[in-house]
Chains A and B, each alone.
Chain A
Amino acid sequence: MGESADIARELSIEASARRIRELERASRRENLGRAWYKFSRNPLSVVGLVLVAAVILLAVFAPYVTPFPRHAGAFTDFAHAKVPPGVKYIFGTDQIGRDILTRIIFGLRSSLLMGVLVLALVVPPGVLLGLLAGYFRGTWVDVLIMRVTDVFLAVPPLILALAVASVLQPSLWHGMMAVSLMWWPWYTRLVYGLTSQLRNEYFVAAAEINGASLWHILFREILPNTVSSVLTKMSLDVAWVIIIGSMLSFVGLGVQPPEPSLGSMVADGARYLPDQWWIAVFPALAIVVVVMGFNLLGDGIRDMFASEQA
């Protein structure tokens, strides 16, 4: 008799555990649905999503979708140099006869690579330093980390990035490293502010009393509560990093020729203004479209998280 009661109890425990899991799954689905609803309520966010998706697809499949894939490299065709926009060359050709549309689409690759890799390099150390400084607020750890952060924030990031990029041999990778070196403090500062508030919460105190390790407190208790702010900042930062990257290549300290990049195409084309205006203007507009796409998407993500917290 005792045995069957045990089995019955176990079964009911199992059943309720299963039920809880089901409910959790359903609520997660519901949250996802609600997040999408909040995101899609603003049509501009959807426009941003579509633009970004289009840019990514174009960049990935550049060799297959561009009319003249060979023009992406060191190709010359002086017979067709400086052809104005038309049927064959939709955006015209540049000073040595390369199709501008093709080079814009290939140029998206380095812009995207820059945006993604810089954030991948910057966010983990930036967040970690912010967590440490915030949790140990008032100790020498805080002082050391935040004072170093202040030093890096003492000059606009573009200037130091330019200086670092110029000291190294100019290339896409060095440009990325230079921008990364200047970008982490913003994440440290953001997470520092959040962490120094969160560390006073009861759930952190509870974990401390239970003897949880520093690792557990930082990454299991505090970090999850900063994720939405960090993600929001990241989604808005992609656009900024792309702008800074295009500025670096505009002054010649980023992607090197013959590799195409939007910034250096604008710089090259600027020499042929005003008569061959298309050489500079179309890559310039391409930058605006890409940045706008990421910005709209970032705003959508921010709104999604913002109303979730409210």
Chain B
Amino acid sequence: MPLLSFIARRLGYSILVLLGLSIVIFVIARIMPGDPARMAVGMMAPQWVVDRLREQMHLNQSLPVQYVFWLRDALHGDFGLSLVTQRPVMSDIVEFFPASLELVLAAGLLAAVGGIGLGVLSARHKDTWIDSVVRVFSYTGVVTPSFVFAILFVLLFGWVLRAFPVIGRLSEQVAAPPVVTGLMTVDSLLAGRLDAFVDALHHLVLPALALAMGSIAQESRITRASMADNLGRDYITAARALGVSERVVMGRFLLKPSLIPTVSILGLDIASLFSIAFLVELIFNWPGLARYGLSAMLHKDLNAISAVILVLGAVFALVNIVVDLIVAGLDPRIRLAATRSQ
């Protein structure tokens, strides 16, 4: 079963990379000046409390030993207490992660639909005014940082047009649905609350769009370029000469192979959307993991910082594996190579 062993190999490799990442994070957390035990109990605590905590945190042992203890706890999901919220970091993450996930998934959806749509539009009307408009748009999209889009959107759609809310995930007068998945839109549908669903969706549009703009632009450029490349290939001419309908030529023969580069870049983009979300969540006051991580960084809350980075690293690795599988599904050559290397 080449597919299974392919997945197994990728998973194993990702675990090694994450182990490496955990070392990097541990080192970063330990180069920070100051005594972690003292920071955990505060300046007013007596010295013997600090000493006992140092003992408990294994701070008196050598760095490699400390790392092993730290890693053992981390593997059990125990990253210690957050200095800011005074709760276990893991329960903070469980609470805040779904909001980020919802935002990133919505943005990824917008990026895929918008980017591929615009790219196809541009390629089909190559060298017309439609193409020019799309290309100018995508160039602007690529060079504009997401937080600039976020601010312009808040100003334009939130304040001038008053078309969308710009703060949080739900209006105050709408009661939140019971938490099942943590995704506000899914939860309200599960609870059968259409009003909450519409309100949550309404809140989701602007931040997701601000987050997605860069990817939409990037994806449409790549789709256009690879469609334009493939358009000149002999097999397209052959298909047309054989009288295959233009829709089949465009959809099956041209679009499918042209999507391979788009999908690979889209995967990388979705993973980095989690990092760009750091800024977008800040502007829209979106209670997600990124905003949590950022406040941890501004307060030098090391336990929370380490956990956020490791969780995002794991998500990044997972997304990459999924993308590789999708690309293998689209591209028979890769499937073939994977089988041959067995």
* Chain B residues whose CB sits within 8 angstroms of the CB of A167 once the complex forms: 28-29, 31-32, 300, 302, 305
Residue A277 at the chain B interface, CB threshold 8 Å: yes
Contact A273 B145 (CB under 8 A): no
Give Cα distance in the complex from A287 to B146, angstroms: 11
Expressed in whole angstroms, the minimum distance between the Cβ of B210 and any Cβ of chain A is 12
Contact A273 B159 (CB under 8 A): yes
24 A-B pairs in the complex with CB atoms less than 8 angstroms apart: A148-B20, A151-B17, A151-B23, A154-B20, A154-B21, A156-B275, A158-B275, A158-B276, A159-B312, A160-B24, A162-B275, A162-B297, A166-B305, A167-B31, A243-B145, A247-B279, A251-B279, A251-B298, A273-B151, A274-B155, A274-B159, A281-B151, A287-B148, A292-B140
Give Cα distance in the complex from A277 to B298, angstroms: 26
Residue A288 at the chain B interface, CB threshold 8 Å: yes
Given A239-B143, A273-B154, verify A151-B20 contact (CB < 8 Å). Answer: yes
Q: Using a CB-CB cutoff of 8 Å, which residues 247-282 of chain B contact chain A?
A: 271-272, 274-276, 278-279, 282
Contact B17 A284 (CB under 8 A): no
Q: A159-B278, A250-B279 are in contact. List 6 more A-B contacts (CB 8 A).
A: A147-B20, A148-B20, A159-B312, A247-B147, A274-B154, A285-B148
In the complex, what residue of chain A is closest to B14 when comparing beta carbons? A154
Residue B323 at the chain A interface, CB threshold 8 Å: no
Candidate in B17, B145, B278, B309 with the most chain A CB atoms within 10 angstroms = B145
* Chain B residues whose CB sits within 8 angstroms of the CB of A110 once the complex forms: none
* Chain A residues whose CB sits within 8 angstroms of the CB of B236 once the complex forms: none
In the complex, what residue of chain B is closest to A147 when comparing beta carbons? B20
Count: A-B pairs, CB below 8 Å: 126
Contact B312 A288 (CB under 8 A): no
In the complex, what residue of chain A is closest to B283 when comparing beta carbons? A270
Contact with B along A286-308 (1 / 0, CB 8 A): 01100110010000000000000
Contact B152 A281 (CB under 8 A): yes
Contact B278 A277 (CB under 8 A): no
* Chain B residues whose CB sits within 8 angstroms of the CB of A132 once the complex forms: none
Expressed in whole angstroms, the minimum distance between the Cβ of A33 and any Cβ of chain B is 28
Interface residues on A, range: 35 or more
Give Cα distance in the complex from A150 to B317, angstroms: 11
* Chain B residues whose CB sits within 8 angstroms of the CB of A195 once the complex forms: none
Expressed in whole angstroms, the minimum distance between the Cβ of A276 and any Cβ of chain B is 11
Given A167-B29, A251-B282, A274-B155, verify A155-B300 contact (CB < 8 Å). Answer: no
Contact B151 A270 (CB under 8 A): yes
Expressed in whole angstroms, the minimum distance between the Cβ of A194 and any Cβ of chain B is 20
Q: Using a CB-CB cutoff of 8 Å, which residues 92-132 of chain B contact chain A?
A: none
Contact with B along A254-281 (1 / 0, CB 8 A): 0000000000001000100110010011
Contact A159 B275 (CB under 8 A): yes
Contact A156 B297 (CB under 8 A): no
Candidate in A157, A167, A291 with the most chain B CB atoms within 10 angstroms = A167
Expressed in whole angstroms, the minimum distance between the Cβ of B133 and any Cβ of chain A is 16
Give Cα distance in the complex from A246 to B151, angstroms: 14
Contact A160 B142 (CB under 8 A): no
How many residues belonging to B are interface residues under a CB distance threshold of 8 Å? 49
Q: Which of A151, A159, A246 is close to B145, meaning CB atoms less than 8 Å apart?
A: A246
Contact A292 B282 (CB under 8 A): no
Candidate in A157, A165, A251, A253 with the most chain B CB atoms within 10 angstroms = A251
Contact B155 A251 (CB under 8 A): no
In the complex, what residue of chain B is closest to A291 when comparing beta carbons? B143
Give Cα distance in the complex from A208 to B163, angstroms: 69
Candidate in A166, A273, A274 with the most chain B CB atoms within 10 angstroms = A166
Give Cα distance in the complex from A270 to B147, angstroms: 10
Residue A89 at the chain B interface, CB threshold 8 Å: no
Contact B151 A266 (CB under 8 A): yes
Contact with B along A159-175 (1 / 0, CB 8 A): 11011111100000000
Give Cα distance in the complex from A280 to B159, angstroms: 14
Give Cα distance in the complex from A144 to B29, angstroms: 23
Contact A266 B275 (CB under 8 A): no
Contact with A along B150-162 (1 / 0, CB 8 A): 0110110011100
Contact A247 B145 (CB under 8 A): yes
Residue B316 at the chain A interface, CB threshold 8 Å: yes
Contact with A along B30-64 (1 / 0, CB 8 A): 01100000000000000000000000000000000
Q: Which of A156, A280, A288 is close to B271, meaning CB atoms less than 8 Å apart?
A: A156
Residue A152 at the chain B interface, CB threshold 8 Å: yes
Given A151-B20, A154-B18, A252-B298, verify A160-B151 contact (CB < 8 Å). Answer: no
Candidate in A148, A159, A291 with the most chain B CB atoms within 10 angstroms = A159
Residue B177 at the chain A interface, CB threshold 8 Å: no
Expressed in whole angstroms, the minimum distance between the Cβ of A219 and any Cβ of chain B is 29
In the complex, what residue of chain A is closest to B302 when comparing beta carbons? A167
